[in-house]
Amino acid sequence: MSPHDSAHPAADDTLLITVTGTDRPGVTSAVLETLSQSAVAVVDLEQILMRGRLVLGVLVSAPRDGKKLRKAVTATVEGLGMSVEFEKGSGDNRSRAHHRAHVTVIGGPLKASAMAAIAGRIADCGGNIDRIERMARYPVTAIEIHVSGAAPDRLRTLLATEAAAHGIDVAVQPANLLRHGMRLIVMDVDSTLIQGEVIEMLAEHAGHRAEVAEITEQAMRGELDFEQSLRARVKLLAGLDATALDQVYDAIVVNPGARTMVRTLRRLGYRFAIVSGGFSQITDRLAADLGIHRARANTLEIIDGKLTGEVVGDVVDRAGKARALREFAADLGVPEAATIAIGDGANDLDMLDAAGLGIAYNARPVVREAADTSLNVPYLDTIMYLLGISREEIVAADAADGIITPAPPLG
């Protein structure tokens, strides 16, 4: 028998001990202390606490005197006012290394029928649910499911159908080291990082909002060439006083959760960039305000304090956004596989494709269909649940810095 075999007993050489009941301090230590008297090896150990109810599972190597061990553990557990079950030959549930994935399910509310459908499709793929964790309960419910035995691409396809049918968001990611490392997040700006479109806000000051909004919508749906549409819209701004840029900036509303996401992930060493088909006169200030490391956008030409109706230099279009992502990644020393792109329009498609993880955020259908995953809730910080970061961890980190988060409603 190899050292590996001896460290990981076969199913027939193990005993699963499951303790359940009302949680209280010292349960785990008391059970382990009792087991230590029987010279068994701990093969696996998992514990779940839900609404004050504890489920503790301890997988140990088969004891020499099983009857004596069961008697001792039963006495300990019953003395704590809890129950215990024993199951011989249960094996080690961590041995399935083939095709491992994280499935994140987000809903508000998240109905039992939706979770049943998700679990059913996982089973249809031949997948096994190894573990389930709640990532958040407010303002949306987020659940992470650890799956083994099912190819992530196949899972993604099946679960996308269920997500659409039940009005929830589902993200599937391979379980690998990238999820635990520092990453670069590249975001679109208009209708992604902020609410609304800056060019439409400027156009309102120029008296041309309706015309600009129609062209913008056609471009975002992919019906118009972006550069041509941009130049056509900017021409409608000719003669506008440059002070309108200050007024528009002051009126910008950052999407809920954006500041929380940037603040939290910067603590973990993440880098951020914004790439916009909008204007540097706005995005540079926005980057400085939010603590974003890199920014790229078009620059409006201003002469004698007036917009000329032209842009200076090359236009940041669909290809330009992808190029910016690659350049930022190289500059910051982040592998492209460790990049995350977030966008909503057709001009974000190349950027989403270039990233290791492309996220369509409240996006047009053409973008949702092409992206790796899609989020359709009005909270940008839900993206952190896809990275394995829970709401409780976010709140605790903020509290340590003196930032108090309102308590969620009871329930």
More confident residue, 215 or 12: 215
Domain check: are 288 and 323 in the same one? yes
In a domain, 249, yes or no: yes
Is 23 within 8 Å of 48 (Cβ atoms)? no
Instruction: Give, rounded to a whole angstrom, the gap between the first and last alpha carbons of the chain.
Output: 52
Amino acid 27: pLDDT:
93
Reduced DSSP (H G I as helix, E B as strand, rest coil) percent helix, strand, coil of the chain, to 5: 45, 25, 30
Q: What's the one-letter identity of residue 92?
A: D
pLDDT band at 410 (very low <50, low <70, confident <90, very high): low
Domain check: are 212 and 319 in the same one? yes
Q: Average pLDDT for residues 221-245, to the nearest whole number?
A: 93
pLDDT band at 265 (very low <50, low <70, confident <90, very high): very high
Distance CA 311, CA 271 (A): 28
Q: Is the pLDDT of residue 218 over 60?
A: yes
Q: Give the C-alpha distances (Å, rounded to integers) separating 251 from 240, 242, 291.
A: 17, 15, 19
Amino acid 409: pLDDT:
62
Q: Average pLDDT for residues 324-350, to the nearest whole number?
A: 96
Distance CA 188, CA 344 (A): 8
Number of C-beta neighbours around residue 300 at 10 A: 23
Domain check: are 194 and 288 in the same one? yes
Domain check: are 207 and 354 in the same one? yes
Amino acid 7: pLDDT:
47
Domain check: are 333 and 310 in the same one? yes
Backbone torsions φ then ψ of 175, nearest 5 degrees: -80, 110
What is the set of active-site residues?
188, 190
Q: Is the pLDDT of residue 95 over 70?
A: no
Domain with 76 in it: 3-88
Domain with residue 27: its CATH number is 3.30.70.260
Q: Average pLDDT for residues 127-147, to the nearest whole number?
A: 92
Amino acid 216: pLDDT:
87
Distance CA 399, CA 411 (A): 22
Give the predicted TM-score (pTM) of the model.
0.83
Domain check: are 122 and 154 in the same one? yes
In a domain, 387, yes or no: no
Is 375 in a helix, a strand, or coil? strand
pLDDT digit string (tens) for 166-202?
999 999 999 888 888 889 999 999 999 999 999 999 9
Domain count, the chain: 3
Q: Which of 342, 345, 341 minimizes the C-alpha distance to 354?
A: 341
Q: Give the C-alpha distances (Å, rounded to integers) separating 196 from 192, 193, 259, 400.
A: 8, 9, 17, 33
SS (H, E, C) 130-161: EEEEEEECCCCEEEEEEEECCCHHHHHHHHHH
Amino acid 407: pLDDT:
67
Domain check: are 284 and 149 in the same one? no
pLDDT digit string (tens) for 197-213?
999 999 999 999 999 99
Per DSSP, what are the bridge partners of residue 281? Answer: none
Laid out side by side, the sheet with 53-61 consists of 42-50, 53-61, 14-22, 83-88
